[in-house]
Every structure is written in structure tokens, then in C-alpha cells.
Amino acid sequence: MTMDINLAEPLAELEAAFARYEAALMANDVAALDALFAPAAMTIRYGIGENLYGIEEIRRFRGGRSPAGLARRLSRTVITTYGRDFGTASTLFHRDASPGKVGRQMQSWVRSDNEWRVVAAHVSVIESG
């Protein structure tokens, strides 16, 4: 089986979706963040201090999260598409409020109804070194 990796059109679309996610995160735009996650019971987000199963748990988390301290810088971002409807986005992030630490974020994205949405996400922080 041959897999088309990083076809130009889906890659550009996923890069744009990832940029929308990052902008929404920095603005704490809960509605935009919600729209970028698949509205399904099987959508998962493992966070720094929480394990969220299903869009309803993710929505409750986003709605109750403080907007303070969300600013960050990204590095080593890798976005890859597999075929036309699946991709991953992996990045490191750095926050001035957390010196000596580096955050890691990985997302699995699926295109459905011509919209890219996160179906699984993992966020963690480790000591930088």
C-alpha cells in the first residue's frame, strides 16, 4: 500500500487549521477552540493536569480554564498529512512563566465534512535540557 504524505493541498489546509488553533489558544477563544475539536464522545485530550474523554469534558475544561499565562512560543513544529484526511501536528512550546521547562503538544487531526478537527491531543511539560 502506498501512502501519499504531505500532498500540497491537505498540508496547507492542516497548517492553516493549526494556525487557527494557536491563535484561538492565545486569545482564549473558547468557541473557536471548541470548533477545532471533533464533536464526539471518542475525542480525547490529555493535558498537563487532566485526562479528558469526550467533547463534553473538553468543553467543560476549556470553559473553566483561566486565560492567564497562555502566551507561549513554538519551536520545532512538524505538521504531516497522510493521504487527504488525516494528519498530525507536533510542537514544542515555551512559556516565560516556566523557565527551565519545555512543553510538548501532539495532535491527531481528521478532515470530515471539509473541516479539519483534532480527534486526539496530548500536552505535557518536562524539564528542558
User: Are 25 and 45 within 8 A, CB to CB?
Assistant: no
Confidence (pTM)? 0.94
Q: What is the pLDDT of residue 95?
A: 93
From first to last of its 129 residues, the chain has per-residue pLDDT tens of 788 999 999 999 999 999 999 999 999 999 999 999 999 999 999 999 999 999 999 999 998 888 788 899 999 999 999 999 999 999 999 999 889 999 999 999 999 999 999 999 999 999 997
What integer pLDDT is reported at residue 60 of this predicted model?
Answer: 95
Domains of the chain, each with CATH number or no CATH: 8-127 (3.10.450.50)
Separation of alpha carbons 108 and 46, rounded Å: 12
**Under 8 Å between Cβ of 128 and 100:** yes
CA pair distance 92, 76, nearest whole angstrom:
6
Give the pLDDT of residue 8. 97
**Rounded CA separation 101/89 (Å):** 20
* pLDDT for position 97: 87
What pLDDT, on a 0 to 100 scale, did the predictor assign at position 66? 82
